[in-house]
């Protein structure tokens, strides 16, 4: 079951990474947060990006998902891809 989820998650990530669809910033934050929670769990890392405000929004979105385990975050990420990207390219 976990292996199947990992395969679906990798496929969903590939679709999201290669999309040309312009999504609203709030949806992009959801993609970011679910991806980080799915791959890093609650191991929040500081970014070396030039935009402190953008980093704050991204970190906040990720922290809001701290109640999810990595598998649940993967499932939500896959749902986002299905909702916003599948059959829309």
Considering the domain boundaries, does residue 10 fall inside one?
Answer: yes
Considering the domain boundaries, does residue 69 fall inside one?
Answer: yes
Give me the CATH number covering residue 38.
Answer: 1.20.80.10
Considering the domain boundaries, does residue 31 fall inside one?
Answer: yes
Q: How far apart are CA 65 and CA 87, in angstroms?
A: 27
**Can you say whether residue 41 is alpha, beta or left, with left for phi > 0 and alpha for psi between -120 and 50 degrees?**
left
Q: pLDDT digits over 27-46, tens only?
A: 999 999 999 999 999 888 65
Structural domain boundaries enclosing 15: 2-84
Predicted confidence at residue 44, as pLDDT, reads 81
**Average confidence (pLDDT) per 10 residues, the chain, 89 residues:** 92 96 96 96 71 88 96 98 84
Number of domains in the chain: 1
């Amino acid at each position: 079951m976990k292996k199947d989820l990992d395969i679906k998650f990798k496929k969903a990530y590939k679709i999201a990474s290669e999309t040309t669809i312009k999504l609203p910033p709030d949806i992009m934050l959801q993609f970011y947060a679910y991806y980080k929670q799915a791959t890093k769990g609650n191991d929040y890392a500081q970014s070396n990006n030039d935009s402190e405000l953008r980093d704050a929004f991204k970190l906040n979105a990720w922290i809001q998902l701290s109640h999810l385990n990595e598998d649940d975050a993967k499932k939500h990420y896959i749902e986002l891809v299905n909702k916003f990207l599948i059959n829309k390219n």
